[in-house]
């Protein structure tokens, strides 16, 4: 059950609310969401500082050999020195629309080559596991819903309820994995700008399905979902609730459920690796903090409302992946739409995450930025295919995702809560040393990237300490309860 909850992503939020309590669960989700927003703002600041540093031609003397080619196209003339070793001209902390600085480049510039390699390994493991989960969600959802007439045993079936994944059920799953691979081979050829309309449409679909789920819960009853009037939880669910606290007076806060809710919150709101790629096509970059805040707030509201309504109606009968509760819904079209939603969601987010992974890998391998013709379109496409291949191999070899996603959720803490604060502190120190504390701070204030006191040195230090504690907490819980 612990592992199944983490597999569900945001679809596991209702069960997370049930097990951690209707106050503690939402509180964890709110804290994680705010932290993700702050981490995104910090990373944007780091990117602006990197751009300012690489604009200064005199900075090439202090750059490592692999970074010097990035500085050769600097837009500014050599800055004069005031005799103290600091640049007399204040830095320009604005990022042009054609420029992007991936996490790997930022890590190499501010933390060094070894830090870049460690970060690449962590991000690679995280995204390979994430892509693997999308493949399995797509394939298992369609295998449970849509038949393939050309297969001898092609009737819909749930592979996770079939003994040892046997018979035609696993064959049906494999065919949907292949189908997903063929569809992705087309989408991976498109850049982020070319996917904009498609991603906007899928975001609308995602929101409509969540509204449909909330609406059917708010207007329906337990019998509409094929449930008895009184909750009859499965043995596994009942045992887990009892192990936390079955006392009705303690339903608002169940502290043992914290170790279940934290990974769910981190996984469903984690978008840190995509911040530089999402920043690149954005025209009005100064509004990035507001845009990210609106997006995260919207998802927070949708997830919270879904969690509350599901707990209110379904109670202890909530499935770890709550869309499965609609399999017996009274309206077949609605049941089908909700059942197919995870497949549609995976279809939407897979190419984005594949692009994020390949962009960072190209920055690491070629020591160049991936954008604006510096790397050919054909090379980018080949890298995306190479990046997704391990995920498809894992989906074939291991249809069950439990252990992989446990480790994936833990690795997902590293970038926003540990690497980003380190980058922010290091880039601030570099900027103040080069331009002087007063001049650099004035330039940052004029650029408007900051979040006020939320990006002060003390707060960033506290943020990094909090991330380290969070990582240690999840690792210890994983060791205690089993990955």
pLDDT tens over the chain, length 483 residues: 444 344 446 777 888 888 888 899 999 999 999 999 999 889 988 988 888 887 765 555 445 444 555 554 444 444 444 445 566 566 777 776 666 677 887 888 888 888 888 888 888 888 888 888 888 878 877 877 777 776 655 577 766 555 544 455 778 888 889 999 998 888 888 776 666 677 677 777 777 888 888 889 888 888 888 777 655 554 444 455 554 444 544 577 877 778 778 888 888 888 877 787 677 666 666 778 888 889 899 889 989 998 999 888 888 778 777 777 787 788 888 888 887 777 777 877 888 888 878 877 887 777 655 444 567 778 888 989 999 999 999 888 877 655 555 667 677 888 899 999 999 999 998 888 888 888 888 888 877 776 777 788 899 999 999 999 998 988 887 777 655
Q: d(Cα 379, Cα 384) in Å, to the nearest integer?
A: 9
Position 394 in a domain? no
Q: Map tokens 């500085």 to a residue.
A: 71
Position 14 in a domain? yes
Q: In degrees rounded to 5, what are phi and psi of residue 414?
A: -65, -50
**Bridge partners for 81 per DSSP:** 87
Position 135 in a domain? no
Answer for the pair 177, 135: CB distance below 8 angstroms, yes or no. Answer: yes
Tokens, residue 151? 């297969």
Answer for the pair 204, 198: CB distance below 8 angstroms, yes or no. Answer: no
pLDDT in the model for residue 164:
45
Position 420 in a domain? yes
Answer for the pair 266, 35: CB distance below 8 angstroms, yes or no. Answer: no
CA dihedral 69, 73, 76, 77 (to 10 degrees): 80
> Nearest 5°: CA angle at 174, between 171 and 180?
145
CA dihedral 25, 31, 34, 36 (to 10 degrees): -90
Burial class, 376, CB count within 10 angstroms (exposed 0-12 / middle 13-18 / buried 19+): exposed
Contacts of 120 (CB under 8 A, 6+ apart): 104, 360, 361, 364
Give which of 217, 356, 176 is closest to 274, Cα–Cα.
356
In DSSP notation, 179-194 reads HHHHHHHHHTTS-TTT
Position 139 in a domain? no
Position 458 in a domain? yes
Q: d(Cα 20, Cα 254) in Å, to the nearest integer?
A: 5
Q: d(Cα 313, Cα 321) in Å, to the nearest integer?
A: 15
pLDDT in the model for residue 234:
47
Domain count, the chain: 1
3-state secondary structure of 287: helix
Position 393 in a domain? no
pLDDT in the model for residue 153:
56
Answer for the pair 419, 38: CB distance below 8 angstroms, yes or no. Answer: no
What is the number of other CB atoms lying within 10 angstroms of the CB of residue 201?
11
Give which of 434, 443, 436, 439 is closest to 48, Cα–Cα.
443
pLDDT in the model for residue 464:
93
What is the distance in angstroms between the CA of the first residue and the CA of the last residue of the chain?
11
CA dihedral 261, 266, 268, 269 (to 10 degrees): 130
Cα-based distances in Å from 217 to 130, 166, 208: 29, 35, 14
Give residue 38's domain range.
Answer: 2-127+162-325+356-384+400-481
Q: d(Cα 77, Cα 91) in Å, to the nearest integer?
A: 12
Position 149 in a domain? no
In DSSP notation, 58-96 reads GGGGGS-TTTHHHHTT-SSPPPPB-SSSSBSSPP-----
Give which of 30, 4, 6, 476 is closest to 297, Cα–Cα.
30
Q: Map tokens 């160049």 to a residue.
A: 368
């Amino acid at each position: 059950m612990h592992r199944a909850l983490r597999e569900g992503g945001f679809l596991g939020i209702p069960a997370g609310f049930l097990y951690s309590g209707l106050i503690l669960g939402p509180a964890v989700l709110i804290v994680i969401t705010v932290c993700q927003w702050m981490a995104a703002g910090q990373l944007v600041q780091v990117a602006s500082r990197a751009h300012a540093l690489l604009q200064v031609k005199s900075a090439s003397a202090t750059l490592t050999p692999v970074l010097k080619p990035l500085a050769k196209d600097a837009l500014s003339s050599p800055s004069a020195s005031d005799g103290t070793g600091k640049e007399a001209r204040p830095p320009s902390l604005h990022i042009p629309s054609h420029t992007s600085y991936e996490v790997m480049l930022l890590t190499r510039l501010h933390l060094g080559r070894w830090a870049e390699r460690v970060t690449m390994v962590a991000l690679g493991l995280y995204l390979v596991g994430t892509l693997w989960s999308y493949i399995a969600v797509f394939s298992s959802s369609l295998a449970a819903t849509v038949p393939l007439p050309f297969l001898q045993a092609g009737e819909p079936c749930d592979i996770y309820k079939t003994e040892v994944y046997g018979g035609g059920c696993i064959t049906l799953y494999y065919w949907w994995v292949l189908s997903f691979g063929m569809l992705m081979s087309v989408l991976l050829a498109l850049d982020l700008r070319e996917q904009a309309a498609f991603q906007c449409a899928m975001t609308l679909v995602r929101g409509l399905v969540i509204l449909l789920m909330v609406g059917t819960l708010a207007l329906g009853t337990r019998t509409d979902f094929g449930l008895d009037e009184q909750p009859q939880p499965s043995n596994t669910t009942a045992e887990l609730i009892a192990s936390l606290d079955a006392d009705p007076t303690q339903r608002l806060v169940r502290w043992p459920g914290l170790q279940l809710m934290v990974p769910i919150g981190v996984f469903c709101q984690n978008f840190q690796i995509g911040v530089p790629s999402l920043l690149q096509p954005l025209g009005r970059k100064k509004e990035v903090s507001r845009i990210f805040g609106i997006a995260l707030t919207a998802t927070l509201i949708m997830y919270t409302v879904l969690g509350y309504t599901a707990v209110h109606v379904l109670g202890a009968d909530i499935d770890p992946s709550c869309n499965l509760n609609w399999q017996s819904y009274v309206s077949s079209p609605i049941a089908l739409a909700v059942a197919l939603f995870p497949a549609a969601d995976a279809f939407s987010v897979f190419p984005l995450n594949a692009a994020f992974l390949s962009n960072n890998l190209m920055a690491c391998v070629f020591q160049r930025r991936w954008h604006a013709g510096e790397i050919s379109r054909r090379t980018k496409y080949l890298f995306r295919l190479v990046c997704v291949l391990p995920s498809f191999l894992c989906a074939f070899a291991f249809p069950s995702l439990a252990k992989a996603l446990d480790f994936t959720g833990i690795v997902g803490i590293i970038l926003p809560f540990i690497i980003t604060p380190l980058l922010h502190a290091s880039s601030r120190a570099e900027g103040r040393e080069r331009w002087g504390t007063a001049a650099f701070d004035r330039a940052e204030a004029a650029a408007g990237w900051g979040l006020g006191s939320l990006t002060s040195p003390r707060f960033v230090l506290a943020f990094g300490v909090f991330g380290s504690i969070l990582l240690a907490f999840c690792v210890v819980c994983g060791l205690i309860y089993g990955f």
